[in-house]
């Protein structure tokens, strides 16, 4: 069974080179992949621009008694890579759903990959510069 799955997956790949496939996907999904670095460590920062836009609006309109909540969950193993997720709780809705705002895909569990991620949050969430949020 494993050989059959491997055969099907191999035939559907763009190539056998995972990094090449990642670059090709980044070019096709420019509104999803925001930054990609392959050296010295592989890091990919991605997320829907529409979701980020809605999160920014929710940050501005969140009532003070139920402020919007961002949380960072790290680190889930996904095959050869790790995934860290910036989660956003949409408190403007009664059900307050939690949605993934941004994803960090990385190949090693070091603090440097996370240090590259957090400064970019200000570019994705300019609301942080105008509002007083606690980190």
Q: What is the mean pLDDT of the chain?
A: 79
Q: Which tokens belong to 43? A: 């890091």
Are 16 and 46 in a shared domain?
no
- The answer to the question of residue 50 being in a domain is yes
Are 20 and 42 in a shared domain?
no
For residue 2, is pLDDT > 80?
no
Domain of residue 18 covers: 1-30
What average pLDDT score do residues 64-76 get? 75
122 pLDDT band, cuts 50/70/90, is confident
- The answer to the question of residue 133 being in a domain is no
Are 9 and 45 in a shared domain?
no
**Torsion angle defined by CA atoms of residues 69, 133, 110 and 104, in that order, rounded to the nearest 10 degrees:** 50
- Per-residue model confidence as pLDDT tens digits over 74-109: 778 877 788 999 998 887 777 888 899 999 988 888
pLDDT at 62: 67
* Strand partners of residue 33: 46
pLDDT at 132: 56
What average pLDDT score do residues 9-30 get? 73
Are 71 and 43 in a shared domain?
yes
For residue 56, is pLDDT > 70?
yes
Are 49 and 8 in a shared domain?
no
What average pLDDT score do residues 21-40 get? 83
**Torsion angle defined by CA atoms of residues 133, 108, 112 and 34, in that order, rounded to the nearest 10 degrees:** -60
């Amino acid at each position: 069974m494993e050989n059959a799955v491997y055969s099907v997956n191999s035939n559907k790949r763009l190539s056998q080179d995972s990094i090449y496939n990642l670059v090709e996907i980044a070019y096709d999904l420019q509104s999803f992949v925001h930054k990609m670095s392959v050296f010295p460590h592989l890091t990919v920062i991605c997320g829907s621009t529409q979701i980020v836009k809605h999160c920014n609006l929710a940050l501005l309109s969140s009532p003070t008694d139920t402020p919007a909540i961002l949380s960072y969950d790290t680190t889930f193993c996904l095959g050869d890579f790790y995934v860290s997720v910036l989660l956003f709780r949409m408190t403007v809705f009664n059900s307050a759903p939690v949605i993934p705002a941004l994803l960090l895909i990385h190949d090693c569990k070091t603090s440097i990959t996370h240090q590259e991620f957090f400064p970019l949050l200000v570019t994705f969430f300019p609301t942080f510069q105008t509002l007083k949020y606690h980190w």
